[in-house]
Structure 1
Amino acid sequence: MSTDYKFVGWLGKDSDAVHGKMVWEEFEPKTWTEDDVDIEITHSGICGSDLHTLRSGWGPTLYPVCVGHEIVGKAVRVGKNNKKGIKVGDRVGVGAQSLSCLKPECEECSAGIENHCASMVGTYNGKYPDGSKSMGGYAMYHRAPSHFVFKIPDAIPSPDAAPMMCGGVTVYSPLKQNGCGPGKKVGIIGVGGLGHFGVLFAKAMGADKVVGISRNSNKRDDVLKMGADEYIATDDEPDWASKHAKTLDLIVCTVSSPKMPLMDYLSLLRVKGTFIQVGAPEDKLPDLTAFAFIGKGCKMGGSLIGAPSEIEEMLQLAADKKVKPWIQEVPMKDANKAIVDMEAGKARYRYTLVN
């Protein structure tokens, strides 16, 4: 099995990298084990997490870092301990998680929620038990433990599959876990890269009503074309909170701003409704009072990416229901420009880098 390829990609050397100053260089991947799969990358989605990490927004980054955790490509080397039937030549994907402890005594891993394991290693900016670093998908090749490598259904084009590996499952998981389906009225706050997946998957899961919620009206036509039944523009509609009060059973919030009108968002919930936060601001969430959720017996919670089983379920749902994300393909050589454009909010609605 030939291993004459090199791991080379876009490296952020310091926090200036987020301003389009990544450098194309060779890097050392994780130490090879027979649990691993080497992937020749064809497509890599750009996620908001990449920007947070490049600028050390969520804490100190382990520079140099190669970001990108929405990876699709061809398996070119497969370790003998692979238990998922992956073969050389298979089209596969990797999401935001690269490792968990997988020990029988671990409550999370034993319950199939490896994404909550205390020993989780991210697909980039993490360290494996042997001390080697995890390096991501803005590159030519990627190495990942096979437990977190997934076969991509034939029905999903690779540019579409890549952003599903993190962006897609980040909203699919809370929708599924909180009963999205017939009989539910669902709101998606923040219709960007994550939020547009929320609209698409809520419709695919059969929700009675799907409402897109964003600041202004310029995305209204797009969101309705995605399948939303209604659109709320919070900056452009006076009294939107009172007008739409107590209309939603479930809200998934992808916004990561400390200035978002959280109290008004909570007013949209019906009695016993549920609010799930997936957007992760670099500082804090807005203040709120207990009566925002006590009065109606509402639940507030959070969700982190998704479990491996949920990634497989999501991919199958996307294939079966022909879920079609709104993707802009960008050559890998233009990754620096793409992250600057992403930061400026120009993506409609997700960028996929293409080798």
Structure 2
Amino acid sequence: MTSDALKRAFVERAKALGFDTIRVTSPDSIPLAPERLKAWLEAGHHGAMDWMVETAERRSDPRTLWPEVRSIILLGLNYGPATDPLAALAMKGHGSVSVYSRNRDYHDVIKGKLKEVAGFLASKASSDVKVFVDTAPVMEKPLAQAAGLGWQGKHTVVVSREFGSWLFLGAIFTTAELPVDEPERDHCGSCRRCLDICPTEAFPAPYQLDARRCISYLTIEHKGHIPAELRTGIGNRIFGCDDCLAVCPWNKFAQTGREARLMQRDDLAALPLADLARLNDPSFRTRFSGTPIKRTGRDRFVRNVLIAIGNSNKPELAEEAVRLLDDASPLVRAMAVWAMAQLLPPADVAGHAHGRAERELDADVREEWRRALSPAHAEETAQ
């Protein structure tokens, strides 16, 4: 079988398994990636994701990861939502979760498909293969642009002329020599919708993302307390953020010609904050079993829920924050103090502080109490 015929057979098999777009590039197709990655890391834009530093060398050159690789196949699966992904943001008593998390964990969904189609390639080409889905030091986005699958937009996410900003990416490294595709050029033009909509101003410049200000990073990856100055911008986003993706004008193409679109669970589109605040560890695990949300753990998730409660402008939700003032987790207690202080008058805050603030052992929680009881905060609340 010729390399062209092999590629055609592979693409046909991949599409039969549900992949929407398949392109091929070479291991040496991203020569600028190492320098760009180094600059991003040196600026500290990776936040607490220390593994990005530790794997920088392997991440910047595919051949460092696997010297035998001859071709890299990038595959995309469209997960474009059928409804407005930002609709839940107006429902202040509910929490909004990112579109990608409203179903089974995409790592599980894609990895099985990738292994199956990679096995097909290995048998047809008598070649070795390795499969990657966002769990190894592979720079999928630059490789996707080099392969012609799409381009990295100003929001740093891959944008496709066919599927907009809604693509799950997977990669197959192989020792087989396959014909490569032409790289995709940038089609963003003067548009900056994705930059302007960001609630926390996480883009210091086009094509640059500061993860330390990104709501997706803060609500999913960040393990500590979320900085006070960023909390109001988070609104009711309790797991991830779709704003910069959802406003991309190329998304209009993601809604057409896709019969097998990944369906999102309706029950995960908007979640009542009062119910979520009452989750303990077992009920959290049960509620979100099989979804990406489970990865944060109960404490981080309830931290996010409390920030949404504090931003809700619904005093009736204050009782959920008050109930969590004595939670076992300092992460939860700290945000319970903050949320309560956003919703209740200063006198009530002081009443709930009595006894608790004095006996609190955690320094971060004590600091939240100090801010909540400060004259400056009382002034803000009164306004």
- TM-score where L is the length of structure 1: 0.27
- TM-score where L is the length of structure 2: 0.25
Between Structure 1 and Structure 2, the one with more helix by share is 2
Between Structure 1 and Structure 2, the one with more strand by share is 1
